[in-house]
Amino acid sequence: MAGTELLIGLFMLPFNVAHLGQAAYGLWVLAASVTVYFSMLDMGYGVAQVRFAAHYRAKGDTEALNQIASTMFCVFTVVGLVTYGVATAIAFNLESFFRITAEQAAIGRSVLLIVSAYVALGFPFSVFGGIVNGFQRTYLNGIVALVTAVVVAAVNVIVLRAGYGLFQLVAATTAVRILSYFAYALNAYRVFPELRIRFRYFRWVRLREVTGFSVFILLIDLANKLNYSTDTIVIGIFLSTVAVAVWAVAQRLIEIVQRITDQLNSVLFPVVVDSSTIQHTERLQKIMLQGTRLSLAMVVPLSTGLALLARPVVMTWVGAKFAGSIPIIYVLSIAVAIRVGNATSSMILKGSGKHRLLSIANILMAVSNLLLSLILVQWYGLIGVAVGTLLPLMVVSLLVVFPAACHRVEMKRTEVIRKAVWPAVWPSLITAGVLLITRSVFKTGWMWLFVQMVLAGTIYAGLFLRFAIRESERDWYLAQIRRLINRRMPAGSGTELGIAP
């Protein structure tokens, strides 16, 4: 299901660029990137409510669950109103922040106000998503996300084919996304029929309880926004909307790799909370090993393939005018491999009582990222921004977060590397060799790219399943895949705020 959504986005990008133009598309990306920061106004409560939903579900405390949900709904209603006020202030001063014309500022203002309405409403409605995720039923939200993505894509095509512009496109697609919120609410009542959202259930004691955890999640979220969402803003300030569009092409490909491979860890979070609650160290060790290995086994071949095939992919997908995206993809492919590969370590720390350490580490990484990007963009342009993202990520992930997670689950780093990292990495070296050979043999075009990807993926999967892991582990993986297929439980939370053009 997540793959279907990503394919839709993959094909919609060149369609939108062709109908809107590079500058208008870059303006859309720039406006949407501003709203990404609004999610920080939830002050970490978004993740915290998932944690406490999982915690009280494990204890069977229905009253506490309803008090948490009602308290968060009240808080998020206020946050939504504040968010739209902030968005309005920014919208009427866009030309003061970015290198855009007066005409672009007028259109961007309307786009930002529309998208911000969706984001503001998303705060109170996120309570329902938190209930579903806390009950480990994220696949229900995935169904809504898929249907929404298909309908949005259809509306997108209809609007642009009819000759309308950016304003009408954003208005129509945002209306569809807002309607999807009610489907997420229905999911919450389906998994938790006893759910009651009432203002009289608001409890200050519950707010203090959640805040004790959420403040550190806020710091982590702030750091993540600085690490992964500031780049577009920096480019908009120092370069142009065309440069934003070029960056967006590379970023979209990297985002596809990340979203395909990072689904596992959103599912693991409530499981980690459960294990930590009952002090189940052995279970945490298994999560550390299996989660890290599976994350790497998914992201390493994809990021390697994307880096080696970056030029033919970009040329076939969006054309030579976006050739500037190619070197950015080289750098960000390494970054996404490290980020996803280390995601289980972050999840272990976040869900098992080490969220303070994780927040400090992420803040340091974010500040370093921002400072490097601000300096390097002036010297090296877009590639400087990419390098500014990669370097702090490597240092903090490999030297701080990963060692801390190993210590938390009481395992040596060498043991985790030997059992989880190396088995997922070495097959990619052979796969990379195959891609290097075939990319000079095959012709250009989607069909040949697909053949290369399938060939490389088959080789990697064969090496990983046959030689990199034990037979018992292979049987367990295959059994889990069959179980998921039989239960029809696709991944995807469908609860993200913001609109990706």
Give the model confidence (pLDDT) of 402-415 as tens digits. 999 999 888 999 99
Q: How many helices (H) and strands (E) does the chain have?
A: 23, 0
pLDDT value, residue 121: 92
Q: Which residues contact 86 (CB under 8 A, 6 or more apart)?
A: 38, 41
Torsion of CA 432, 343, 7, 488, to 10 degrees: 110
Which amino acid, 66? N
With a pLDDT cut of 90, the percent of the chain lying above it is: 28
Q: Given pLDDT bands bounded at 50, 70 and 90, which one contains residue 486? A: low
Q: What is the pLDDT of residues 25-51, one digit of tens each?
A: 888 888 888 887 777 677 766 667 777
Backbone φ, ψ for residue 491 (5° rounding): -80, 165
Q: What is the pLDDT of residues 216-225, one digit of tens each?
A: 666 666 676 6
pLDDT value, residue 449: 84
Neighbours of 436 (CB within 10 A): 10
Which amino acid, 142? G
Is the pLDDT assigned to residue 379 strictly greater than 50?
A: yes
Residue with tokens 């208005």, as numbered in its chain: 171
Residue among 39, 131, 133, 124 nearest 83 (CA):
39
Q: What is the pLDDT of residues 122-181, one digit of tens each?
A: 899 988 887 887 777 777 877 888 899 899 999 999 999 998 888 999 999 999 999 999
pLDDT value, residue 392: 92
The domains of the chain are located at 1-228, 237-492
- The tokens describing 250, both together, are 């590379």
Contact between residue 452 and residue 439 where contact means Cβ atoms under 8 Å apart? yes
Alpha-carbon torsion 204, 279, 403, 431, what sign? negative
As a whole number, mean pLDDT of residues 374-396 equals 93
pTM: 0.68
Alpha-carbon torsion 51, 57, 60, 66, what sign? positive
Residue among 77, 44, 68, 73 nearest 207 (CA):
68
CA dist 370 and 250 (Å) reads 19
What would the 3-class secondary structure string for 285-324 be? Answer: HHHHHHHHHHHHHHHHHHHHHHHHCHHHHHHHHCCHHHCC
Is the pLDDT assigned to residue 394 strictly greater than 50?
A: yes
Contact between residue 252 and residue 333 where contact means Cβ atoms under 8 Å apart? no
Residue with tokens 């990807």, as numbered in its chain: 453
Indicate the average pLDDT of the chain. Answer: 82
Residue among 135, 126, 119 nearest 51 (CA):
135
Q: Which of 107-116, 351-360, 416-425, 492-501 has the lowest mean pLDDT?
A: 492-501
Q: Given pLDDT bands bounded at 50, 70 and 90, which one contains residue 498? A: very low
Residue with tokens 């990503």, as numbered in its chain: 6
Cα atoms in the 13 Å half-sphere on the side-chain side of 180: 28
